[in-house]
Amino acid sequence: MERRKFIQGIFATSAVVAMAVPSTLLAEEAKKEATKKGPNDMSFEEALKTITNGKGAKESDKIELKVPEIAENGAVVPVKVNVDHPMEEKNYVKAIHVLNKGNGNARCADVMLTPANGKGYFATRVKLSKTQEVVALVELSDGTFIQTAKSVKVTIGGCG
């Protein structure tokens, strides 16, 4: 009986050790990931605050944001923004900001438009590190901000 207990004990402890080691390793890895920072890291909330000057933005269906539902390669994700708004001398789309919610730096591109553009349109390709939301934030000439967001499933991350 004693021997059986002894062996059982060994198995139990070894199982616990086996479970414990990888989890602590993983935790350390996660910590490293969290502390690994780029030169100009910015969270989405901060970026939104600095762009809108603390005003915030309204959800709107005037913006047509075209992103793929599933991106196989996170390094090249096409983003297309179309704003259904007139481009007249005094009433036009002032800026289109493309933001993300999951990368180290939430800002991708700020595009300042003028009435000479004729249409509020912008297209580019961005890198996404993981499955996350892409946000198009649009500033109109009267100083109001509207936004729309769409999530993209990323199979292979594109950063680093």
Partner 1 sequence: MAEKRRAMIKIKPKKFKVGDIVKVDFIAIHPMDTGMQKDKKTGEIKPAHYIDSITFSFDGKPFTTMKIWESVSRNPYFSVNYKVTGKGKITVDYTDNQGEKNSKSKKVKPKG
Applying CB under 8 A, which part among 7-15, 16-24, 31-39, 59-67 lies near partner 1?
31-39
Applying CB under 8 A, which part among 52-60, 62-70, 102-110, 143-151 lies near partner 1?
102-110
Task: Specify which residues 121 forms β-bridges with.
Answer: 82
With respect to partner 1, which residue has the nearer C-beta, 127 or 153? 127
Tell me if 100 contacts partner 1 by CB under 8 A.
Answer: yes
What is the separation of C-alpha 73 from the centre of its chain, rounded to a whole number of angstroms? 15
What track of x and - describes contact with partner 1 for positions 59 through 98 (by CB under 8 A)? ----------------xxx---------x-----------
Binding to partner 1 (CB under 8 A) within 125-144 occurs at 125-128
Q: How far apart are CA 89 and CA 92, in angstroms?
A: 7
Tell me if 103 contacts partner 1 by CB under 8 A.
Answer: yes
**In this chain, which of 31, 36, 55, 66 binds partner 1, going by CB under 8 A?**
36
Q: Specify the 3-state DSSP secondary structure of 43.
A: coil
3, 55, 56, 61, 136 from 149: Cα distances, Å? 63, 18, 14, 10, 6
Q: How far apart are CA 61 and CA 93, in angstroms?
A: 15
Greatest Cα pair distance, the chain, in angstroms, is 92
User: Which is nearest to 147 in space by CA: 36, 88, 65?
Assistant: 65
The residues binding partner 1 (CB under 8 A) are 36, 38-40, 75-77, 87, 100, 103-105, 107-114, 116-119, 121-128, 158-160
